[in-house]
Amino acid sequence: MLKKLLMVLALCGPMVAGAADKAKDEPVTHLTDEQIYEELKKLALVFEVARDNFVEEADEKKMLEGAMAGMLGALDPHSSYLSADDFKEFSDKSHGEFGGLGIQITSDRGAVRVIAPIDDTPAEKAGIKAGDYITHIDGDQVFDLTLNQAVKKMKGRPGTKVKLTVISDGQEPRTVTLKRAIIKVKSVKYEEKGDDQKIGYIRISDFGATTAKEIKEALTALEKKDVIGYVLDVRNNPGGYLTAAIDVSDAFLDSGEIVSTRGKNKTDIERTFAKPGDLAGGKPVVVLINHGSASASEIVAGALQDNGRALVMGSQSFGKGSVQQQKPLGDGTAIHITIARYYTPSGRSIQNEGITPDVEVLHSKVEVLEKKESTYSEASFKNSLKNEDAKKQAKKKSTADDDDAATDLTDAEKDALDYQLQRGMDMVRAMAKMRLTAADRVAAVEQENAEKSAAEKSEKSDDKKTSDKK
């Protein structure tokens, strides 16, 4: 048993004494091979003593998986051990369809914190937001659970229900009941927005296996509509595949670096560059981000910002600047481990910092300050003449108000209440106008130069004719 346990643990790499307790800025004290072997022997001894003395029948597989999960969890919040079921679920989710609540979570000092809900899922419809903490699942506290265990408790057969206790910033804990569903993620949605339908709006909810194909389809379709510019919305986008983020950035760039990843060793640097061909035709682009924009979303925002291709608006992003990779162990299980950090083209690390918007636009409530019917008017005078149709109009208004109250908001009304989106669209219009003005100036100068050149040629020709006559 000891030999088998040592072989299993060896697959997870050498252990570092006190890794969970050391501050991030303290140097790591490495163990010698002999010390590592002694610690592994101790771990095997703990396993055997616990198995033989536990008051109930011990589940050896659960114990070993718990040891490996704890080892990886001590490294950072994103490294974990994936059982065969976990690995399969991870693969299914990455390919656009999975069962559950539609919520991306992370570990935060032993608690479960929401990175972002996915669009049009039970979590998003229940009002769960980025930054919320989940303290209980079906009445059981989550502080004793690993991240994978918390995810597993939230998943289940579609149609079944689960209760979550959620704490939002500055609010009392609340319990919400969600019905599990098959989560089908279409990562890219697009449409023309604005009164004149001239703003190309592209919403990316996550970066999956189909995102690259979908972003090209969106840009091709919107270019045919002759839009004047684009709003690229990656708010509350928790990230996904690095390759998808690179492809989305490349779609808007004609050249320049997109991202670099730097690993453990100084020589472990990989740089990715854009290929020629801007599918947006050089038109103005505004990228909307917020504190729920993480990982791949931050790569796209940073790439377009540093290359001067887009203006980034919104609020500070999440700050997940690390690269994870799955390392299969050959028996259907795998390790999900952090292997590198992301850096923007200018060399900025995203980790713990995030992307700072060029123009900060905090999520705000739009409120009408001026009433349509002012309290100060002719009608406010004591002895003013009455309008004979006033009763009819009042009755019509009352009926209309009742109808409005019973009707859900339209997409246009929802857009009007989205302050960040409105400011983003305003900025695209301003940038498009400035671009057009600059183009007009260039065209005017070129026209003026052409006219001068033609006049000079004509003048030289006239001089030559006069000279010939003489």
Q: What share of the chain is helix, strand, coil (3-state, %, to 5)?
A: 40, 20, 40
Active site residue 295: yes
| 320 annotated active-site | yes
Nearest to 32 by CA among 45, 19, 17: 17
Give the count of beta carbons closer than 10 Å to the beta carbon of residue 208: 22
Residue 342: phi and psi, rounded to 5, are -90, 145
Which tokens go with 205? 């909810």
Q: Residue 23: CB partners within 8 Å, gap ≥ 6?
A: none
Strands 334-343 and 311-314: unpaired
**Which position among 80, 295, 297, 315 bears the catalytic label?**
295
Dihedral of the alpha carbons of 341, 347, 352, 353, in degrees to the nearest 10: -160
Can you spell out the DSSP letters for 80-112?
A: EEE-HHHHHHHHHHHTTEEEE--EEEEEETTEE
**222: three-class secondary structure by DSSP:** helix
Longest distance between any two alpha carbons in the chain, whole Å: 124
Q: Choose the catalytic residue: 233, 250, 306, 418.
A: 306
Which secondary-structure segment (H or E) carries 98? strand 97-100
DSSP 411: H
Distance, CA of 192 to CA of 198 (rounded, Å): 6
Catalytic residues: 295, 306, 320
